[in-house]
Amino acid sequence: MADVLIIDDDPDSADVLASVMQAQGHEVRVGYDGQEGMNLVDARRPDLVLLDVEMPVLTGPGMAHRMFVHDMGLEMIPIILLSGVHNLTEVAAQVGTPYYLLKPYPLAKLVALLKRVLVERVAPSPPGLQPLHA
């Protein structure tokens, strides 16, 4: 069981993701923009973050960047980007995460990726930024 944080500005998408994660036995928290996501991360460090890209207040990449430079080890949290943006591969490279799925995606593919992430636990490594904790 993992502590999964879902950040998506579409409540319907967030609810579906939460239901799928809960059915897999995970503890789930949901936020609807990157700033709310940072508040939830600060309140309790998740095992991984499922993160939308385009959101109000603070984008997914903006939240990932803040996590990476935040002085609490947050840069070590794996991030799965979930988005319908046409350049998701490039956005994932900028964030430094190898984990991403283009919306819409089959739920089975998401579940398989989630299992992989929880085994590998590869933290983001954005180009040009160095983690604060080595």
Digit-coded pLDDT (tens) for 68-122: 877 567 788 999 999 999 999 999 999 999 999 999 999 999 999 999 999 999 9
The residue whose two tokens read 């983690």 is 131
Predicted TM-score (pTM) of the model is 0.91
Q: What are the residue boundaries of the structural domains of the chain, listed by start?
A: 3-120
User: What is the distance of C-alpha 77 from the center of its chain?
Assistant: 9
**Per-residue pLDDT, 127:** 80
What superfamily does domain 3-120 belong to in CATH? Response regulator (3.40.50.2300)
Residue 3 has pLDDT above 60, yes or no: yes
pLDDT of residue 99: 97
* Residue showing tokens 């997914």: 60
Task: Tell me what pLDDT residue 130 has.
Answer: 53
Dihedrals φ, ψ of 30, to 5°?
-130, 135
